Structure 1
Amino acid sequence: MKDFDGKIALVTGTTGIGLASARRLAAGGAAIVALGIDESANAAMQDEFDRNGAAALVATVDVSVPDQVAQAIAAGVGRFGGLDVIVNSAAVHPYGTATSTDFETWNRAMSVNVGSIYLTAHYGIPEMIRRGGGAIVNVASVQGPACQ
């Protein structure tokens, strides 16, 4: 038996750690709902999962926009029947100091890197509760402590 058989996993970020996480979950038997902003990466991910027979819905979503996250989670629940796992790995990494970074760039980074965690929890936890619980994994990279 595979370790994620019968589970439905939401993964934010369709490149890097998000892609690797989705691959591992799918290899373990999970159905995948993947959200990313990079259309070409999303298409490549969907194609890979389709070729490998993995159950996947890859959507172009700005994870900092509440309505987009809510609609994507609803679409995943509609297709696969629920939600068991959330892996938050979407991130942007603007480089600059506090004095050289403009406020809009700062807000964008906070909305994607922190706000998206709230949004997936806000819209995802009720679905997880309906299935008896679940797990949330929030991924951080070296960019956090590096302070670049």
Structure 2
Amino acid sequence: MGEFDGKIAVVTGSSGIGLGAALHFAREGAQVYLCGIDDALNAKARSDADGRAVNVSRVDVSDAEQVESWINGIAAEAGGIDILVNAAAIQTYGTTETTDIAHWRRVMNINLDSCFYTSHFAYPHMKARGGGAIVHVSSVQGHSNQYGVLAYATTKGGIHAFTRAQAVDAARDGIRVNSISPGSIRTPLLEFAAQEVAGPGNPIEDTIAEFGKAHPIGRVGTIEETSQLIGFLCSEKAGFCTGADYRIDGALTAYIGV
């Protein structure tokens, strides 16, 4: 018997933290519906699922009509929705001066608007099931920032506010809402950033180790660790947990580096 037997889980983001969460739910017995925009990553997600109950679709989460069609299709096929995890996001760079309007809107649409779209369309289906759990994947950059992450950091801070407000409204319907704020996690996105620092064709392990040294725990985190936290927050064990952000950052934001 799995912890999520009989549950219907909807997850955005078909690589990294999103894929990790989807596979965790599937291993624990849930029927999982996962989406992403990148066809190659979607194909890899199907392969990684290795026969488990993970349905992968191509959906642009910044497009409300696509999200509505996807969510309603899931509810019609599966009979409802119990769990929603929003992990789809892009990491971009720019300051107030260098961020143009198109860049700003794209980051807002993918990272923040998508959390509202999926929640808005999934909510009635979760309510009809008598409740459920929502987890939004934010970032430590919603709490404190590097240089040049204006749009990205704004969306991650927005997720914190969105989570609180949504949790207050949803409690009466038995729907719990939380967010998590990861530090450096070994994902394809982190590996891409490490390659940018290391230079084309150079090994990235030393760079990733340097990223890890910024965290008092001395290493970067793993997708499995974020999956375990997401799983906990969506489980009955977290029945009194709602409206909060949970940092999974190896004490990065607790540390004063002076």
Query: TM-score range with shorter-chain normalisation?
Result: over 0.9
CA distance in 2, matches of 1:8, 1:17: 18
User: Identity percentage over the alignment?
Assistant: 45
Q: What is residue 4 of structure 2 aligned with on the other side?
A: 4
Q: What is residue 145 of structure 2 aligned with on the other side?
A: 146
Structure 2 SS opposite 1:146: coil
Structure with larger Rg: 2
Structure 2 SS opposite 1:25: helix
Q: What is residue 101 of structure 1 aligned with on the other side?
A: 99
Q: What is residue 34 of structure 2 aligned with on the other side?
A: 34
TM-score by length of 1: 0.92
CA distance in 2, matches of 1:74, 1:54: 22
Q: What is residue 56 of structure 1 aligned with on the other side?
A: 54
Given the alignment of the two structures, is residue 135 of structure 1 paired with residue 133 of structure 2, yes or no? yes
Q: What is residue 88 of structure 1 aligned with on the other side?
A: 86
Which deviations, in whole Å up to 9, do the C-alpha atoms of 1:101-142 show, x marking residues without a partner? 111111110111110010011000101011111000011123
TM-score by length of 2: 0.54
Which deviations, in whole Å up to 9, do the C-alpha atoms of 1:32-65 show, x marking residues without a partner? 111111111111112332x3x3212211111010
Which deviations, in whole Å up to 9, do the C-alpha atoms of 1:78-118 show, x marking residues without a partner? 33221000001111111111110111111110111110010
Q: Which runs of 4+ in 1 moved over 4 A?
A: none
Counterpart contact for 2:17–2:87, Cα < 8 Å: yes
Which deviations, in whole Å up to 9, do the C-alpha atoms of 1:61-80 show, x marking residues without a partner? 11010110011112222332
Which of 106, 112, 115 does residue 114 from structure 1 map onto? 112
CA distance in 1, matches of 2:6, 2:112: 29
Structure 2 SS opposite 1:64: coil
CA distance in 1, matches of 2:52, 2:129: 21
CA distance in 2, matches of 1:75, 1:44: 23
Q: Which runs of 5+ in 1 are unaligned?
A: none
CA distance in 1, matches of 2:141, 2:46: 28
Q: CA RMSD in A?
A: 1.3
Which of 63, 77, 80 does residue 79 from structure 1 map onto? 77
What letter is aligned with 2:145?
A
Structure 1 SS opposite 2:52: coil
CA distance in 2, matches of 1:98, 1:62: 27
Q: Which runs of 5+ in 2 are unaligned?
A: 150-258
4 and 74 in structure 1: CA distance in 2 versus 1, 3 angstrom threshold: same
What letter is aligned with 2:66?
Q
CA distance in 2, matches of 1:112, 1:104: 12
CA distance in 1, matches of 2:56, 2:33: 6
CA distance in 2, matches of 1:22, 1:59: 13
Counterpart contact for 1:57–1:76, Cα < 8 Å: no
CA distance in 2, matches of 1:98, 1:32: 39
129 and 72 in structure 1: CA distance in 2 versus 1, 3 angstrom threshold: same
Shift of 1:143: 4.0
Q: How many residues align?
A: 146
